[in-house]
Amino acid sequence: MMQEIINVLIGAFGQWFGVAAFLFVILKIQRRYLLELNRLGGRPLMLFSAAAFVPIHELSHALVALLCGHKVDKVVFFQVTQANTLGYVEHRYKKTFLSPFANMLIGFAPLLGGGVVCYWVTVHLMPSLLSVKYIPQDSEWVKLPDIVSTADTLFHLTKVHYSDGVFWLWAFLMVNMAIFSVPSGADFKGASAGVVITLSLYVLLSVYALGDRVTIDAEIASGVLLVMPFLIMVILTSGLLVGLLTLTNKILGRASCR
């Protein structure tokens, strides 16, 4: 019995580990991307890149705040200041037992908003990518061969479309939308209580469902598998763009030394 509970706990946390790993990696890519943009063209280039995507980030916060019954007092979609705050949403609410969950949804809203925009962009610019079939080797989780397979698919698509300007426009929009959809430190702080409570309830429900044919974590895993190819492709494409920026900066740096 104890061994089964331990296995359930490992499985429960394992389902969320991949999501946490994705957020961690894309956050690192975001910081490096902004750094390389700043090196290439200074703060104006970084602001130019952010101007089209930060408003979507803030709009996502505002819409979900309204859906959660919060009073939105002010929305700054984009601002140019010396501080790192390019936009923000001020909202207030009456505290209830649901407040931690509402704040969690509001904090992570840009991930959903960014995902919707990425899907819309793909439909209009690269609809052929939506027909790519993805069948994981394991019905319960994504494994290394699945990541390798997705990477191979991405490289194949790049090889096929490398001379197509629409493909590179799609890649640029996708990468920037993904990078600027990452919740900020303030977003994570506001969502932290809801995340802790949700994970605790999730583990309890997984243990409670012990012995059932379909467990809670297996159901969530099936949902994660639907979006995992997209998440993997975003990371790989983002890493490719950051690599190109880094290479460009190094070449320009060497050229300036001659």
pLDDT digits (tens, 9 = 90+) for 12-37: 566 667 677 777 887 788 888 888 88
Please check whether residue 85 lies inside any domain of the structure.
no
Please check whether residue 86 lies inside any domain of the structure.
no
User: Which domain range does residue 144 map to?
Assistant: 2-50+101-257
89: its two tokens: 């949403």
Please check whether residue 84 lies inside any domain of the structure.
no
Please check whether residue 15 lies inside any domain of the structure.
yes
Please check whether residue 74 lies inside any domain of the structure.
no
Confidence at residue 255, expressed as pLDDT on a 0 to 100 scale: 46
215: its two tokens: 């467990």
The pTM of this model reads 0.78
User: What is the average pLDDT score of the chain?
Assistant: 78
Confidence at residue 90, expressed as pLDDT on a 0 to 100 scale: 92
Confidence at residue 72, expressed as pLDDT on a 0 to 100 scale: 93
Confidence at residue 253, expressed as pLDDT on a 0 to 100 scale: 77
Please check whether residue 56 lies inside any domain of the structure.
no
Please check whether residue 64 lies inside any domain of the structure.
no
Confidence at residue 215, expressed as pLDDT on a 0 to 100 scale: 55
Residues of the chain below pLDDT 50:
213, 254-258
Confidence at residue 213, expressed as pLDDT on a 0 to 100 scale: 43
Residues in the chain: 258
Please check whether residue 77 lies inside any domain of the structure.
no
Q: Dihedral of CA 184/185/188/189: which sign?
A: negative
Number of domains the chain is built from: 1
130: its two tokens: 């939506």
Distances (CA, A) of 38 to 42, 50, 159, 162, 245: 4, 12, 29, 26, 10
Confidence at residue 148, expressed as pLDDT on a 0 to 100 scale: 74
Distances (CA, A) of 202 to 109, 123, 219, 220: 20, 34, 12, 10
Confidence at residue 244, expressed as pLDDT on a 0 to 100 scale: 84
